[in-house]
């Protein structure tokens, strides 16, 4: 049996709409809308090789396009080039694989069909047509394929895939119908080119094949085909169910079970899972990896690998949105009590594993009565037990007030008195707050906590206070993992320095910070810590160091850093590359220390020039350059 041809005429006849209406409303208008919405250059026009706009179609051209005649391929080719224009494809075109839900042209075509099927009669006729068409596709009445880079791109098989009820492509029948209508319309429009390229190895058609391949990548959901098992059955759990089970396992700190569920989503459901599910999956999988999930596949066994694989599906930001470093479970075996005040689930999940397993939650001691922290502090329990009070709410001022109130209650407790008995217990207070703001307050509070003791045999059990400052902890953890000074301590580098000194040359040692975090305090901590850690070497040693900050928030970072640390200004350049104006009080007259220079550059993280800037900025500043990518956290 001869294969059927998929044409716009077929759609027009089955849906009782005119050919002109079909072409204009469901193809040309979406192209126009894309250009209006996406292309910033108002002078841009889509033209044919003879200078006519692609929208200026005569009656004859319209008829031939509708019927899929080969000699109109020039018009269709120009249209194809227009809908693949980089501004229309937008960010979706940044990777070798794409997310079908972000392609603006497809979205516009779907919107046009959505308006059409809003009418119940149109919905019925469209649904009947689509069912018949996909029944023919499933029975191989259509043959739609071409070869690109020695690989067969089988569009028929892709159409079968989106018709598979197991794939859960869309949440509603209406959305699935508009998607299928849109795909069929686009393919029918491009059928003359598709047929021309199907059995041809002509080099002149390579550009057409590349365009077809790109469009195919944009309009169909993608899978990492080599990772999708061929023996998938109808008993495979849905991606949403697996994700729910993984989240529940993570809440129970069972990272191995969670990791297995998340890996299963990626291996079996990547083909048609939504970008939201995939984004959550990759983010949670990295958390499991950090918590010793050992059965993770080799191709996903590092943050970089997870990020690279996520990026192929246009999932660029799957990082967690808070500073939550890897936490080891406590190995402390003694008994004790703890009190945790924290409604932020992310922070709570981070803190709970740090509490020894044998410790008892204070708030759960008296289930039948209203809990009172003051009552507990005024009980004999505090005399000889390990006790930890944790105040970790998002409101830092409340945490500080709670901590001060706890100190006051401890001072007033009749059981917190000087004693001569040996005691093994510890009292600790953990406060989530900003260190700079609270240090002086706590110093004052602690200074009046203890009374002067005349008897040397008596002593107070000390109260240990720990400040949890996420911004400073970010800098501490980062620079602990990547110290800025360690190359200077090696014998080899010391010898190099001496040789450079003799040659009257200088070694450049620099830091490149890239941050897209709208909470600029994190970046400012990195800068301040770096300024103190980078080599402040006596001028007799040939070393110069520099801090370069790349951020879309560079102006705000510059202003805040200079306001907090006015002494930085004398060695800083603003986003325009100009020296920051300083007054006499900010001028530092120290001459025997080479302070690092700080330069700020305003740049968007989605700018294609970012990598170019990094490559330009890094080489002139080397021998040693450390780059810190500080994404939203």
Give the mean model confidence (pLDDT) for residues 475-494: 72
> pLDDT digits over 29-77, tens only?
888 877 766 554 444 455 544 545 555 566 677 788 888 876 666 777 7
Four-point Cα dihedral 255, 261, 262, 263, nearest 10: 110
Per-residue b/e over 48-87, b at no fewer than 16 CB within 10 Å? eeeeeebbebeeeebbbbbbbeeebbebbbbbbebbbbee
Give the mean model confidence (pLDDT) for residues 415-431: 74
The pLDDT of residue 301 is 67
Nearest to 161, CA basis, from 208, 111, 100: 100
Q: Which residues sit opposite 625 in a β-bridge? A: 510
The pLDDT of residue 296 is 77
Where does 84-154 have alpha helices with state H?
86-89, 104-116, 120-138
Taking 60 as the threshold, does the pLDDT of residue 224 lie above it?
A: no
Q: H or E segment at 146?
A: strand 145-148
Residue 39 DSSP label: -
Confidence of residue 623 (pLDDT cuts 50, 70, 90): very low
CA-based Rg of the chain, rounded to a whole angstrom? 33
Token look-up 């703001």 returns: 437
% of the chain at pLDDT higher than 90: 8
The pLDDT of residue 321 is 37
Give the mean model confidence (pLDDT) for residues 592-605: 80
How many Å apart are CA 144 and CA 194, to the nearest integer? 7
User: Of 73-77, 97-101, 263-267, 555-559, where does mean pLDDT reach its minimum?
Assistant: 97-101
The pLDDT of residue 233 is 36
How many Å apart are CA 398 and CA 404, to the nearest integer? 10
The pLDDT of residue 537 is 58
Backbone angles phi, psi at 625, to 5 degrees: -130, 125
Q: Which residues sit opposite 302 in a β-bridge? A: none
Q: Which residues sit opposite 151 in a β-bridge? A: 148
Which segment, 78-92, 175-189, 476-490, 609-623, is predicted with the most confidence on average?
175-189
Confidence of residue 374 (pLDDT cuts 50, 70, 90): confident
The pLDDT of residue 338 is 92
The pLDDT of residue 456 is 67
Residues 6+ positions from 232 with CB-CB distance below 8 Å: 268
Give the mean model confidence (pLDDT) for residues 116-130: 90
Confidence of residue 133 (pLDDT cuts 50, 70, 90): very high
Kind of pairing, strands 427-432 and 359-361?
unpaired
The pLDDT of residue 43 is 47
Give the residue, 149 or 267, on which the prediction is more confident: 267
Nearest to 513, CA basis, from 608, 609, 605: 605
CB atoms near residue 115 (< 10 Å): 13
Q: Please, are residues 425 and 380 in contact by the beta-carbon 8 Å criterion? A: no
Give the mean model confidence (pLDDT) for residues 466-481: 79
Q: Is 510 exposed, middle or buried (0-12, 13-18, 19+ CB in 10 A)?
A: buried
Give the mean model confidence (pLDDT) for residues 213-227: 63
The pLDDT of residue 399 is 93
> pLDDT digits over 263-314, tens only?
888 877 765 566 778 888 888 888 887 777 877 777 776 766 777 777 665 5
Q: Please, are residues 467 and 436 in contact by the beta-carbon 8 Å criterion? A: no
Give the residue, 70 or 503, on which the prediction is more confident: 503
How many Å apart are CA 239 and CA 261, to the nearest integer? 9
How many Å apart are CA 521 and CA 628, to the nearest integer? 16
Q: Can you say how many angstroms the Cα of residue 38 is from the centroid of all Cα atoms in its chain?
A: 24
Confidence of residue 388 (pLDDT cuts 50, 70, 90): very high
Taking 70 as the threshold, does the pLDDT of residue 199 lie above it?
A: no
Q: Packing angle between helix 255-269 and helix 275-290, nearest 10 degrees?
A: 140
Give the mean model confidence (pLDDT) for residues 309-326: 54
% of the chain at pLDDT higher than 70: 71
Helix (H, G, I), strand (E, B) or coil at 344: coil
Token look-up 């009070």 returns: 389
Confidence of residue 373 (pLDDT cuts 50, 70, 90): confident
Helix (H, G, I), strand (E, B) or coil at 535: coil
Nearest to 594, CA basis, from 512, 527, 528, 508: 508
Backbone angles phi, psi at 336, to 5 degrees: 175, -175
Give the residue, 151 or 386, on which the prediction is more confident: 386
How many Å apart are CA 515 and CA 526, to the nearest integer? 10
Cα 198 to Cα 189, 192, 545, 621, distances in angstroms: 15, 10, 59, 52
Confidence of residue 232 (pLDDT cuts 50, 70, 90): very low
Confidence of residue 392 (pLDDT cuts 50, 70, 90): very high
Nearest to 34, CA basis, from 94, 102, 79, 88: 88
Average pLDDT, the chain: 75
Four-point Cα dihedral 340, 344, 345, 351, nearest 10: -40
How many Å apart are CA 126 and CA 16, to the nearest integer? 10
Question: How many CA atoms lie less than 13 Å away from 86 in the CB half-sphere?
Answer: 4
Tokens coding 401:
């007030």
Q: H or E segment at 624?
A: strand 624-630
Taking 50 as the threshold, does the pLDDT of residue 482 lie above it?
A: yes
User: Of 260-274, 276-290, 530-544, 597-611, where does mean pLDDT reach its minimum?
Assistant: 530-544
pTM score > 0.75 for this model?
no
Taking 50 as the threshold, does the pLDDT of residue 627 lie above it?
A: no
Four-point Cα dihedral 192, 198, 203, 206, nearest 10: 70
User: Of 115-119, 287-291, 342-346, 452-456, where does mean pLDDT reach its minimum?
Assistant: 452-456
Four-point Cα dihedral 533, 536, 537, 543, nearest 10: 80
The pLDDT of residue 299 is 73
Give the mean model confidence (pLDDT) for residues 236-250: 80
């Amino acid at each position: 049996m001869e294969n059927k041809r998929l044409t716009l005429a077929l759609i027009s006849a089955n849906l009782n709409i005119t050919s002109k209406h079909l072409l204009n409303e469901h193809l040309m208008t979406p192209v126009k809308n894309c250009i209006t919405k996406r292309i910033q250059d108002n002078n841009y026009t889509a033209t044919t090789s003879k200078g006519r706009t692609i929208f200026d179609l005569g009656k004859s051209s319209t008829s031939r396009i509708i019927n899929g005649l080969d000699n109109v391929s020039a018009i269709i080719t120009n249209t194809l080039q227009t809908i693949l224009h980089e501004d229309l494809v937008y960010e979706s075109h940044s990777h070798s694989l794409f997310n079908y839900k972000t392609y603006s042209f497809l979205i516009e075509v779907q919107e046009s069909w959505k308006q059409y099927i809003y009418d119940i009669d149109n919905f019925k006729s469209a649904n009947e047509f689509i069912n018949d068409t996909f029944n023919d596709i499933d029975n191989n009445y259509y043959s739609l394929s071409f070869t690109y880079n020695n690989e067969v791109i089988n569009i028929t098989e892709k159409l079968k895939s989106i018709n598979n009820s197991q794939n859960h492509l869309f949440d509603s029948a209406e959305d699935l119908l508009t998607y299928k209508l849109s795909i069929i319309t686009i393919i029918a429009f491009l059928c003359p080119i598709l047929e021309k390229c199907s059995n041809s190895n002509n080099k002149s058609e390579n550009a057409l094949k590349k365009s077809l391949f790109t469009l195919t990548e944009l309009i169909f959901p993608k899978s990492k085909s080599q990772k999708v098992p061929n023996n998938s059955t109808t008993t495979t759990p849905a991606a949403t169910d697996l994700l729910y089970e993984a989240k529940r396992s993570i809440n129970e700190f069972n990272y191995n079970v969670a990791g297995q569920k998340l890996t299963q989503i990626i291996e079996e459901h990547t083909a048609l899972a939504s970008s939201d599910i995939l984004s959550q999956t990759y983010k949670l999988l990295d958390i499991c990896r950090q918590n010793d999930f050992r059965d993770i596949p080799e191709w996903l066994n590092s943050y970089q690998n997870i990020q690279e694989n996520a990026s192929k599906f246009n999932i660029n930001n799957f990082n967690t949105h808070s500073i939550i470093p890897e936490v080891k479970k406590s190995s402390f075996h003694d008994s004790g009590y703890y009190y945790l005040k924290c409604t932020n689930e992310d922070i709570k999940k981070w803190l709970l594993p740090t509490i020894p397993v044998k410790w008892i939650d204070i708030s759960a001691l008296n289930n039948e009565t209203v809990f009172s922290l003051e009552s507990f502090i005024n009980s004999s329990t505090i005399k000889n037990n390990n006790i930890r009070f944790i105040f970790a709410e998002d409101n830092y001022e409340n945490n500080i007030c709670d901590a001060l109130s706890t100190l006051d209650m401890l001072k007033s407790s009749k059981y917190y008195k000087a004693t001569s008995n040996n005691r093994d217990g510890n009292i600790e207070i953990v406060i989530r707050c900003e260190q700079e703001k609270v240090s002086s307050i706590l110093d004052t509070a602690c200074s009046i906590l203890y009374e002067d003791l005349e008897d040397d045999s008596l002593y107070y059990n000390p109260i240990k206070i720990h400040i949890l400052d996420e911004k400073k902890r970010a800098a501490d953890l980062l620079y602990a993992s990547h110290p800025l000074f360690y190359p200077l301590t090696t014998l080899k580098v010391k010898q190099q320095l001496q040789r450079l000194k003799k040659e009257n040359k200088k070694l450049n040692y620099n830091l490149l910070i890239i941050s897209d975090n709208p909470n600029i305090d994190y970046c400012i901590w990195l800068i301040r810590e770096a300024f103190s850690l980078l080599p402040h070497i006596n001028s007799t040693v040939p070393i110069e160091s520099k801090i370069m900050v790349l951020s879309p928030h560079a102006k705000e970072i510059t202003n805040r850093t200079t306001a907090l640390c006015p002494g930085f200004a004398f060695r800083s350049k603003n986003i325009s590359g100009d020296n920051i104006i300083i007054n006499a009080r900010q001028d530092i007259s120290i001459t025997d220390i080479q302070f690092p220079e700080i330069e700020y550059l305003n740049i968007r993280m989605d700018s294609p020039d970012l990598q170019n800037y990094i490559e330009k900025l890094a080489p002139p500043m080397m021998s040693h350059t450390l780059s810190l990518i500080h994404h939203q956290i």
